[in-house]
Amino acid sequence: MSHSEIRVRFAPSPTGYPHLGNIRTALFNWLFARHHGGKFILRIEDTDVTRKVEGAVENIIDSLNWLGLDWDEGPYFQSQRLPLYQEIVRKLVNQGPAYLCYCSPHRLEEMRREQIRRKQPPKYDRRCRELTVQQRAQLEASGVTPVVRFKTPLEGETSFHDLIRAKVTFQNDTLDDFILLKSDSYPTYHLANVVDDHLMVISHVLRADEWLSSTPRHILLYQALDWQPPQFAHLPMILGPDRAKLSKRHGATNIIEYQRQGILPEAMINFLSLLGWSLDDKTELLSREELVKHFTLERVGKTAAIFDKDKLEWMNGVYLRRLTPEQFASQAIPFLQRDLPSSVKRPLDDTYISIIMPLIQERARTLADVPHLVDFFFLDELEYDQSLLIKAMDAVSATKAIETSLERLKPLEAWNAVSVENILRPLATELGLTTSKFFGLLRVAITGRTASPPLFQTMATLDKQRCLKRLNKALQKIKEQK
């Protein structure tokens, strides 16, 4: 492995299902690796046993697979590497930059409360930093299991060059003597993260802004271990449209939820790529290949990106329209299976579906819209409010319009969009109705709604019998209304 090689990692903690922000981080790392012909590594940071969430690892893997973010190494699990971290901690303790701390959780909690009461930033008071040999022996004998803390320098500052934010400096006295090894002998995030980035020869750490304040601690650790730190790039925050930190309130946060909502992976990739990166000020639609070709950190912004669900759905609509009719139908089928009312008989008829899908491909923004857009093609009985039938005209005119339509359509033998239109279009004039009113009425009778795919194609697809039945049903409904 050459040291100039680009090696990046996605290092999620399985403390929850990955959300948009996590996956944006994964994507930027992946794009960076692919752009430079480097390696993308998956590392599961599962050292917080108490916060581990069942199924999170599987969900992380499913999310990456769904989006086609393939990794070259891993998944590595930190929980399987414990001796490695323990060994390094031993070295740090022996050589001086780390120390054992015997303070009980109770004492730490008291101290924290007191500091908050005094409006001081909560921070360990370093009581165990300079224990005498005797004191240590005493504490050891009392049977307390110590944690290991890092001896953060008491003064001076720690700086690093961030590839996005340029020079970043932290005053050391604002940093805590943070824990490296917990009393359960598991490493903390700080320790395991640094050790693994070093051992896995990570060249660049691209991670969310929220980790920026951890970086000086990491730099101090690299220095204490005499290791060369990787380059850092902290990605801008993602905010909701209200400029508040992105949260559940702004819609589904678990990325797989978007798959359930009928977002295409390619649209998601394109959308996520623009949360903090841009090619120029105008290009919105970029394929995966174009993103790989153009992705550079120079074009990652410093200011927060705004998550706009409406834009995601718009973009998804664009990607849906680009599918061939066959692709669109096959993508839509699972959603039809899942969301068409249970009264619709399964299995669904694939040939029938392939006739219907082109009628709505232009109109769907997500695949989950599809069942609702087409359910009237599948239902035997339509549920709709009869007042829709007499919205544009009175009951007498509506009755007459439908009765006449029925009369003219009944003898029609070759039932197709053209023959149906040839009968109905002239009828509007004959009835003294505008086509918009007349067709609007028929649309409600045939589909149960005021907006639908083109009326004559819809009628042709539904077949004669069902159309006549629905027109009769509409007559009945108008009567009931009276």
Number of residues that make up the chain: 482
Smallest distance from ligand GLU to CB 83, Å = 20
Using the minimum distance from each CB to ligand GLU, give the nearer residue, 15 or 435. 15
SS (H, E, C) the chain: CCCCCCEEEECCCCCCCCEHHHHHHHHHHHHHHHHHCCEEEEEECCCCHHHCCCCHHHHHHHHHHHHCCCCCEEEEEHHHCHHHHHHHHHHHHHHCCEEEECCCHHHHHHHHHHHHHCCCCCCCCCCCCCCCHHHHHHHHHCCCCCEEEECCCCCCEEEEEECCCEEEEEEHHHCCCCEEECCCCCECHHHHHHHHHHHCCCCEEEEEHHHHHHHHHHHHHHHHHCCCCCEEEEECCEECCCCCECCHHHCCCEHHHHHHCCCCHHHHHHHHHCCCECCCCCCCCCCHHHHHHHCCHHHECCCCEECCHHHHHHHHHHHHHHCCHHHHHHHHHHHHHHHCCCCCCCCCCHHHHHHHHHHHCCCCCCHHHHHHHHHHHCCCCCCCCHHHHHCCCCHHHHHHHHHHHHHHHCCCCCCCHHHHHHHHHHHHHHHCCCHHHHHHHHHHHHHCCCCCCCHHHHHHHHCHHHHHHHHHHHHHHHHHHC
Q: How far apart are CA 359 and CA 376, in angstroms?
A: 13
Using the minimum distance from each CB to ligand GLU, give the nearer residue, 45 or 313. 45
Stretch that binds ligand GLU, among 8-16, 92-100, 388-396, 405-413 (CB under 6 A): 8-16
Q: How far apart are CA 98 and CA 221, in angstroms?
A: 10
Ranges within 171-190 binding ligand GLU (CB under 6 A): 189
Smallest distance from ligand GLU to CB 232, Å = 9
Q: Does 193 bind ligand GLU (CB under 6 A)?
A: yes
Smallest distance from ligand GLU to CB 91, Å = 22
Q: Does 204 bind ligand GLU (CB under 6 A)?
A: no
- The dihedral over CA atoms of 315, 318, 324, 327, expressed in degrees to the nearest 10, equals 20
Smallest distance from ligand GLU to CB 167, Å = 20
Smallest distance from ligand GLU to CB 2, Å = 23
One of 91, 123, 182, 248 is an active-site residue; which one? 248
Considering only 7, 12, 179, 232, the residue that binds ligand GLU (CB under 6 A) is 12
Q: Which residues of 309-318 are buried (b: 16+ CB within 10 A; e: fewer)?
A: eeebbebbbe
Ranges within 139-168 binding ligand GLU (CB under 6 A): none
Ranges within 93-122 binding ligand GLU (CB under 6 A): none
Q: Does 45 bind ligand GLU (CB under 6 A)?
A: yes
CA 195 vs. chain centroid, Å, equals: 29
Q: Does 33 bind ligand GLU (CB under 6 A)?
A: no
Considering only 7, 34, 204, 207, the residue that binds ligand GLU (CB under 6 A) is 207
Using the minimum distance from each CB to ligand GLU, give the nearer residue, 101 or 206. 206
Using the minimum distance from each CB to ligand GLU, give the nearer residue, 77 or 211. 211
Using the minimum distance from each CB to ligand GLU, give the nearer residue, 12 or 453. 12
Name the CA radius of gyration of the chain, rounded. 32
Considering only 11, 312, 467, 478, the residue that binds ligand GLU (CB under 6 A) is 11
Stretch that binds ligand GLU, among 9-17, 32-40, 334-342, 345-353 (CB under 6 A): 9-17
Q: Does 217 bind ligand GLU (CB under 6 A)?
A: no
Smallest distance from ligand GLU to CB 66, Å = 19
Using the minimum distance from each CB to ligand GLU, give the nearer residue, 11 or 409. 11
Using the minimum distance from each CB to ligand GLU, give the nearer residue, 193 or 254. 193
Instruction: Spell out the residues 6+ positions from residue 426 whose beta carbon is closer than 8 angstroms to its own.
Output: none
Smallest distance from ligand GLU to CB 29, Å = 9
Q: Does 13 bind ligand GLU (CB under 6 A)?
A: yes
Using the minimum distance from each CB to ligand GLU, give the nearer residue, 12 or 38. 12
Using the minimum distance from each CB to ligand GLU, give the nearer residue, 194 or 333. 194
Q: Does residue 158 contact residue 146 with C-beta atoms inside 8 Å?
A: no
Q: Does 211 bind ligand GLU (CB under 6 A)?
A: yes
Q: How far apart are CA 389 and CA 373, in angstroms?
A: 19
Q: Does 384 bind ligand GLU (CB under 6 A)?
A: no
Stretch that binds ligand GLU, among 7-15, 311-319, 360-368, 400-408 (CB under 6 A): 7-15
Smallest distance from ligand GLU to CB 253, Å = 14
Among this protein's residues, is 479 annotated catalytic?
no
Smallest distance from ligand GLU to CB 206, Å = 8
Stretch that binds ligand GLU, among 10-18, 51-59, 97-105, 135-143 (CB under 6 A): 10-18
Q: Does 236 bind ligand GLU (CB under 6 A)?
A: no
Q: How many chain residues bind ligand GLU (CB under 6 A)? A: 8
| Residues of this chain that bind ligand GLU (CB under 6 A) | 11-13, 45, 189, 193, 207, 211
Kindly list the catalytic residues: 248
